[in-house]
Chain A
Amino acid sequence: MAAAEPLHDPAPDQAAFLEHAIERYGKATYNFAYRLTCNEADARDLTQEAFVRVYKAWKSFKPGTSFLSWIYRIVTNLHRDELRRRKGRYQEEIPDDNELQEFSGSRPLAVAPIDDYVESQLSEPLSKALQELGSEQRQIVWLADIEEYSYQEIADVVGCTVGTVRSRLHRARGQLRKLVTRHMKSPS
């Protein structure tokens, strides 16, 4: 699992440590930042800042633990700070756990749309649907389903409880289904 992959043999030198980290995890970090922000400029800024933080705090990294989880946590915190800073200037919302959950505690109302997904047809609706999810929901879906992190690992990255991860993941998947279905029915 990606989350358990440690940064083996961290170089003793600070600059070498940074180079090693960029070489091995730069791309993954950038992709993670891109999933959070949904735009390249912000993803670049987040990635740069995250690696500068890694450079400064390189001694606090514990060999044998997951470097990727560490830097994902840094990226998450930076992104959260940036959202707070931009609050009022940008439209993106931080999702609220108290929002209505279409599938909460019950079985899905319909499962057919997923069965109908064909990759060539799905890419655009799924892309739009992911962008419409809140950044924290998008992040949790990404970590759970793409990176295959455990709920506990996600909780460590995001800084919340396992129960919150579980509820956000369920709600995010439910909303994703709804949004994909909507975009497939009315592509625009």
Chain B
Amino acid sequence: MNQLHPTSEEIVDYLHGELSPARDAAIHAHLAGCSECAEIRDSELSLTETLRAYARADERELPAGVVATIRARVQYKPPSLWEQLSAAFRPAVAVPIAIAIAAFIYFGFRLAHGPAVASTIDASYYVESHAALSSTTPLSEDEPIPGALRGDDQSH
């Protein structure tokens, strides 16, 4: 008998086809001539066969409720915050929202600051009236009277 018996672990690996081809062949040859190791092999095989028989006998069907629950969970799951944000920023939605925001900011600014007073005064008034006043007798108390004031006097 060959004194270099494989370990039981090697025999298990052999039965699972996990050895290198060379080692597999060596153990295969050894088992053919060693009753002691062949007994271990048979024992390991028996354990595996027993496990398989047990598994076949104890096989379970998938409960119907499991499938129903899976379907319910994947169909009625509320969208995540990210999914909601992604949906909100689609171009078809985002462009009108951007226009509305821009309009709100523009008109909101206008309302908050009231009408622009400076833009309602005619600049020519200052140029013409003030220039006319200063170009004649700026220190005189008689003439000329600025146009803007003259109307008041004439009304009397």
- B62 contact from A26, A126, A145, A169, Cβ within 8 A: A26
Which DSSP category, helix, strand, loop or mixed, fits chain A's interface? helix
Q: State whether A114 touches B59 (Cβ < 8 A).
A: no
- B39 contact from A30, A111, A144, Cβ within 8 A: A111
CB contacts (< 8 Å) of A40 on chain B: these are 60, 63
CB contacts (< 8 Å) of B74 on chain A: these are 15, 18, 52, 55
CB contacts (< 8 Å) of B60 on chain A: these are 27, 30-31, 34, 40
CB contacts (< 8 Å) of B42 on chain A: these are 111, 115
Q: State whether B46 touches A115 (Cβ < 8 A).
A: yes
Q: Which residue of B lies closest to A177 (CB)?
A: B47
A62-70, A87-95, A99-107 - interface stretch: A99-107
Q: State whether B62 touches A30 (Cβ < 8 A).
A: yes
CB contacts (< 8 Å) of A29 on chain B: these are 62
- A26 contact from B43, B54, B57, B66, Cβ within 8 A: B66
Q: State whether B50 touches A48 (Cβ < 8 A).
A: no
Q: Measured between C-beta atoms, what is the minimum distance from B76 to chain A in Å?
A: 12
Q: State whether B47 touches A173 (Cβ < 8 A).
A: yes
Q: State whether A114 touches B46 (Cβ < 8 A).
A: yes
Q: State whether A114 touches B12 (Cβ < 8 A).
A: no
Known: A52-B73, A108-B8. A127 touches B54 (CB 8 A): yes
Q: Which residue of B lies closest to A56 (CB)?
A: B74
Q: State whether A145 touches B51 (Cβ < 8 A).
A: yes
Which residues of A come within 8 Å of B, CB atoms? 15, 18, 22, 26-27, 29-31, 34, 40, 44, 47-48, 51-52, 55, 103-108, 111, 114-115, 117, 119, 122-123, 126-127, 130, 141-142, 144-146, 150-151, 166, 169-170, 173, 176-177
